[in-house]
């Protein structure tokens, strides 16, 4: 079985195959100006699962994910705090790495930073100016000329006939935004002339001092590490337009090579308890927010990958509780199989890796679902259906290890295997107690602990969360 995905560009399901000695995969990374939220992680996790599935199918993957460490937001926030841009973005990059590790995400093969690739970006802008696809405006900025690219709009299905593309006059200003709606399609900035609000965050260029636009960094860095045409590009569906459309235009017009990317992989939005995520609703959860409510990173991972990546995911606390019981089922089945087989947990951990044969095993159905447009919900269903057949055979255990690797699940990880399933009423009291403890309301925390133990449970505190044990 070969993995396939729905390719946004061709609008069809296609089998994935590397065009060269490795499968080149570029994913738009985080803009490091604060902690990533679970909507961001949903996308990164979908890409992580895709990469794992490719690896399990025997394909060698080169995974590049960038760090956007210069843009309007990073500059604004660092200046507000009076710290240098690099100091500011370093802190949030480290935080991002720590969260990824907790979520058991594989680190990318290369993680280039925009500020370390200014030369490559300038080189691409120069090429576009030379071959007539870009022009310098009076404001010291350089713009991509959309009307010079007959293919513009092919990814997002933008209808060019109805496009009133504007060129930028010497005033320029209005066209400097990195993110905009389809209604305001106009030539976009490749290079932004220096403005007073940039402070000392600028670089020299043939067009004067300034900084790169957002879109050009992904074109320049993907080309540097994967070549001018490569296999797959991933991102959230919100990046399809204008970001990815602009990346295609920049890359294909600067190299004259088509296509820039063969397969486009977009994951759908995340809703929280049926509502759109927003600061004002207070549901823009970070990993820390959920861990401090008593959920483990494995549970959060499970809940974020459990829906199909192309369908909007409604993230709920009920879903997190379901993830907990699912993980606990996996760990119980595993524990009993290990006991029968006389294998230790340490021994089994070595089997959580790609390589084992999945076809012809009890996990063939799950593997087939993952190969069929990364259908994680179907794969999970197939895994639970296969568990009663696990037995103690080495072949089954090796296949179990491989399918767990594909999903990035580790039922032996702390917080999954050890946590016992408490009734919702107890879990709710424990969450309230944790909140009270965090707010330093120790009287209330003690009172709640008393209630919990009267109901026959003990709360165990860890550094970043708690677990419950039957007393």
CB of 188 to Zn ion, least distance (A): 13
Nearer to Zn ion, 152 or 348 (CB): 152
Least distance (Å) between residue 323 CB and Zn ion: 30
Q: Which stretch binds Zn ion (CB under 5 A): 50-58, 213-221, 290-298, 460-468?
A: 213-221
Q: Pairing between strand 275-276 and 270-272?
A: antiparallel
Question: Which C-beta is closer to Zn ion: that of 28 or that of 287?
Answer: 28
Between 218 and 313, whose beta carbon lies closer to Zn ion? 218
Closest CB 219 distance from Zn ion, rounded Å:
8
Q: How far is CA 422 from the centre of its chain?
A: 31
Question: Which region, judged by CB under 5 A, interacts with Zn ion, from 52-60, 125-133, 161-169, 217-225?
Answer: 217-225
Which residue lies nearer to Zn ion by CB, 31 or 205? 31
Considering the complex, state which of residue 46 and residue 386 has its C-beta at the smaller distance from Zn ion.
Answer: 46
Whole-number minimum distance, CB 10 to Zn ion, in Å?
A: 20
Secondary structure of residue 349 in the 3-state scheme = helix
Contacts of 220 (CB under 8 A, 6+ apart): 117, 120, 121, 123, 124
- Which range touches Zn ion (CB under 5 A), out of 23-31, 169-177, 183-191, 248-256? 23-31
The minimum distance between CB 244 and Zn ion, in angstroms, equals 7
CA distance 20 to 398: 29
CB 267 to Zn ion: min, Å: 14
Q: Which of 25, 28, 306, 448 binds Zn ion (CB under 5 A)?
A: 28
User: What letters, b where the CB count within 10 A reaches 16 and e where it falls short, cover 204-243?
Assistant: ebebeebbbbbbbbbbbbbbbbbebbbbbbbbbbebbbbb
Residue 387 structure tokens: 């568990």
Region from 16-24, 214-222, 285-293, 409-417 binding Zn ion, contact rule CB under 5 A: 214-222
Comparison of 28 and 412: residue with beta carbon closer to Zn ion: 28
Considering the complex, what minimum distance in angstroms separates the CB of residue 390 from Zn ion? 42
3-class SS of residue 56: helix
When the beta carbons of 113 and 433 are compared against Zn ion, the nearer one is 113
Strands 270-272 and 313-315: parallel
Exposed / middle / buried, residue 470 (Cβ in 10 Å: 0-12, 13-18, 19+): exposed
Q: What minimum distance in Å lies between the beta carbon of 3 and Zn ion?
A: 23
Least Å distance, CB 196 to Zn ion, is: 27
Count of residues that bind Zn ion according to CB under 5 A: 2
DSSP codes, 59-116: --EEEEE-BB--SHHHHHHHHHHT--HHHHHHHHHHHHHHHHHHTTPPPPSB--BGGG
Phi and psi torsions of 110, nearest 5°: -135, 140
Stretch of 26-34, 129-137, 200-208, 340-348 contacting Zn ion, by CB under 5 A = 26-34
Cβ proximity to Zn ion: between 78 and 251 the closer is 251
Tell me the closest approach of the beta carbon of residue 378 to Zn ion, in angstroms: 30
Minimum CB distance to Zn ion smaller for 245 or for 373? 245
Which one of 9, 216, 218, 422 is in contact with Zn ion (CB under 5 A)? 218
**248 sits near Zn ion (criterion: CB under 5 A):** no
Instruction: Provide the β-strand partners of residue 189.
Output: 143
Q: For residues 45 and 41, give the distance between their C-alpha atoms in angstroms, rounded to a whole number.
A: 6
Q: How far apart, in whole angstroms, are the C-alpha atoms of residue 204 and residue 143? A: 17
Distance CA(139)–CA(296), nearest Å, equals 50
* Interface residue list for Zn ion (CB under 5 A): 28, 218
């Amino acid at each position: 079985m070969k993995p396939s995905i729905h390719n946004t560009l061709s609008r069809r399901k296609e089998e994935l195959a590397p065009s060269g000695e490795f499968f080149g995969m570029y994913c738009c990374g985080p803009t490091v100006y604060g902690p990533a939220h679970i909507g961001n992680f949903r996308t990164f996790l979908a890409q992580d699962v895709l990469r794992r599935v490719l690896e399990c199918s025997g394909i060698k993957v080169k995974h590049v994910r960038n760090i956007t460490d210069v843009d309007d937001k990073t500059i604004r926030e660092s200046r507000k705090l009076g710290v240098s841009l690099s100091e500011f973005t370093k802190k949030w990059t480290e935080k991002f790495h720590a969260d990824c590790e907790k979520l058991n995400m594989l680190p990318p093969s290369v993680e280039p930073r925009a500020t370390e690739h200014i030369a490559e970006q300038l080189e691409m802008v120069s090429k576009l100016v030379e071959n007539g696809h870009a022009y310098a405006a009076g404001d010291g900025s350089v713009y991509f000329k959309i009307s010079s690219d007959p293919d513009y709009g092919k990814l997002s299905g933008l209808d060019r006939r109805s496009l009133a593309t504007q060129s930028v006059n010497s005033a320029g200003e209005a066209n400097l935004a990195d993110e905009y709606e389809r209604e305001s399609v106009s030539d976009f900035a490749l290079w932004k002339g220096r403005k007073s609000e940039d402070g000392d965050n600028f670089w020299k260029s043939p067009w004067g001092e300034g900084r790169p636009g957002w879109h050009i960094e992904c074109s320049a860095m993907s080309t540097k590490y994967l070549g001018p045409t490569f296999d797959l590009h991933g991102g959230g569906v919100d990046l399809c337009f204008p970001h990815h459309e602009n990346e295609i235009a920049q890359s294909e017009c600067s190299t004259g090579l088509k296509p820039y990317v063969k397969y486009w992989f977009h994951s759908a939005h995340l809703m929280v308890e049926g509502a759109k995520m927003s600061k004002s609703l207070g549901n823009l959860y970070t990993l820390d927010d959920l861990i401090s409510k008593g959920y483990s990173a494995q549970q959060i991972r499970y809940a974020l990958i459990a829906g199909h990546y192309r369908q909007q995911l409604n993230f709920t606390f009920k879903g997190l509780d379901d993830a907990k019981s699912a993980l606990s089922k996996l760990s119980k089945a595993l524990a009993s199989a290990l006991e029968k087989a006389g294998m230790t947990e340490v021994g089994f951990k070595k089997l959580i890796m790609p390589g084992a044969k999945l076809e012809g095993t009890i996990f063939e159905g799950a593997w087939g679902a993952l190969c069929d447009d990364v259908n994680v919900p179907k794969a999970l269903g197939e895994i639970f259906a296969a568990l009663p057949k696990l037995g103690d055979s080495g072949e089954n255990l090796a296949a179990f290890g491989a399918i767990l690797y594909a999903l990035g699940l580790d039922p032996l990880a702390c917080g999954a295997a050890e946590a016992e399933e408490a009734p919702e009423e107890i879990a709710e009291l424990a969450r309230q107690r944790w909140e009270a403890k965090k707010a330093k309301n120790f009287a209330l925390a003690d009172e709640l602990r008393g209630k919990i133990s009267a109901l026959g449970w003990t709360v165990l505190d860890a550094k970043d969360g708690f677990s419950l044990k039957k007393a």
